[in-house]
Structure 1
Amino acid sequence: MTTVDEERPAPPELAPARRVRPTPATALYDAFGPRGRRRVLVATVVSVAVLAGFAVFVLYRLDRYGHLQRARWSYVLSPEILRYLGEGMLNNLKASVIAGALALVLGLVLALGRLSGTRAIRVPAVAWIEFFRGFPLVLLILFPYLLFPVYLRAVDPLWYVVIGLTLYNSAVIAEVYRAGILSLDRGQQEAAYAVGLRHGQAMRLVILPQAIRRMVPLLLTQLIILFKDSTLGVAVTYPDALRRGETMGSFEPRVVFQAIIVTAVMFFLVGLVASRLVGVLERHWSRG
Structure 2
Amino acid sequence: MRTEVHRLFDPPGPRAIRRNRVITVAVAVALPALALLVISRFAAAGQLEPGKWSIFGQWPVVRYLLDGIGKTLLATAAATALTVPTGLLIALARLARNPITRLLAAAYVELFRAVPVLLLLFACMIVLPRFGMRMPIFWQLVVPITLSHVAVIAEIFRAGITALPRGQAEASYAIGMTYWQSMRLVLIPQAVRRLRPALVTQLVRLLKESTLGFVVSYMELLYAGKVLGEYTHALIQTYLVIAAIYIAINSLLSWLAGTLERRSV
Q: Normalising TM by the smaller chain, what interval?
A: 0.7 to 0.9
Q: 2:57 matched to 1:70?
A: no
Check 1:142–1:65 CA distance in 2 against 1; reply closer, same or farther (3 A cut). Answer: farther
1:76–1:258 contact (8 Å) kept in structure 2: no
| AA in 2 matched with 1:271 | N
Q: Give the distance between the partners of 1:29 and 1:192, measured in 2 at CA.
A: 38
- Contact 1:95 1:230 (8 Å CA) reproduced: yes
Give deviations 1:180-211, integer Å, cap 9, x for gaps. Answer: 11111111111111111111111111111111
The match for 1:274 is: 253
CA distance in 2, matches of 1:206, 1:238: 42
Residue 28 (structure 1) aligned to one of 4, 15, 19: 15
The CA deviation string for residues 229-273 of structure 1, in whole angstroms up to 9 with x for no partner, is 2112122211001001111244222x1111111111111111111
> 1:29: Cα distance to partner?
7.2
Q: Which amino acid counterpart does residue 257 of structure 2 have in structure 1?
A: V
| CA pair 224-57 structure 1, distance change in 2 beyond 3 A | closer
CA distance in 2, matches of 1:133, 1:177: 15
Aligned partner of residue 251 in structure 1, secondary structure: helix
Q: TM-score, normalised by structure 1?
A: 0.78
Aligned equivalents of 2:85 and 2:136: distance in 1?
Answer: 23
SS across alignment from 1:165: helix
SS of 1:67's partner is coil
Matching of residues 106-121 of structure 1 within 5 Å: 106-121=86-101
Residue 133 (structure 1) aligns with: 113
Q: Residue 216 of structure 1 corresponds to which residue in structure 2?
A: 196
Q: Contact 1:140–1:164 (CA<8 Å) still a contact in 2? A: yes
* Cα root mean square deviation, aligned: 2.6
> What is the distance in 1 between the residues matched to 2:30 and 2:260?
39
Distance 2:58 2:222 in 1: 18
1:78 deviation in Å?
2.3
Q: What do residues 115-140 of structure 1 show as CA deviations (whole Å, max 9, x unaligned)? A: 11211101110010011112212222
1:169 counterpart residue number: 149
2:68 and 2:31 map into 1 onto residues whose CA distance is 37
8 Å CA contact 2:141–2:213 kept in 1: the answer is yes
Deviations 1:2-59 (CA, angstroms, capped at 9, x unpaired): xxxxxxxxxxxxxxxxxxxxxxxx811798xxxxxxxx9xx97xx969974x656534
Superposition pairs for residues 80-99 of structure 1, below 5 Å?
80-99=60-79
Task: Tell me if 1:197 matches 2:184.
Answer: no
1:187 pairs, out of 156, 167, 175, with 167
Q: What is the CA–CA distance in structure 2 between the aligned matches of 1:30 and 1:208, rounded to whole Å? A: 32
Check conservation: 2:203, 2:253, Cα contact below 8 A. no
Q: How is 1:204-243 mapped onto 2 (pairs within 5 angstroms)?
A: 204-243=184-223
Equivalent AA in structure 1 for residue 244 of structure 2:
V
- Letter in structure 2 aligned against 1:161: L
Can you give the 5+ residue segments of structure 1 that lack an aligned partner in the other structure? 1-25, 32-39
- Determine which structure has more spread, i.e. the larger CA radius of gyration: 1
Of the candidates 128, 131, 137, which is equivalent to residue 148 of structure 1?
128
Decide whether the 8 Å contact of 2:93 with 2:101 is kept in 1. yes
Residue 5 (structure 2) aligns with: none
- The offset of 1:228, in angstroms, is 1.8
Percent sequence identity over aligned pairs? 38
Deviates more, 1:118-127 or 1:276-285: 276-285
Structure 1 residue 154 displacement after superposition: 6.0
**TM-score, length-scaled by structure 2:** 0.84
Q: CA deviation at 1:281?
A: 2.2
In 2, are the aligned partners of 1:141 and 1:233 still within 8 Å (CA)?
Answer: no
Structure 2 stretches lacking a partner, 5+ long:
1-12
What is aligned with 1:22?
Answer: none
Question: Does residue 244 of structure 2 align to residue 265 of structure 1?
Answer: yes
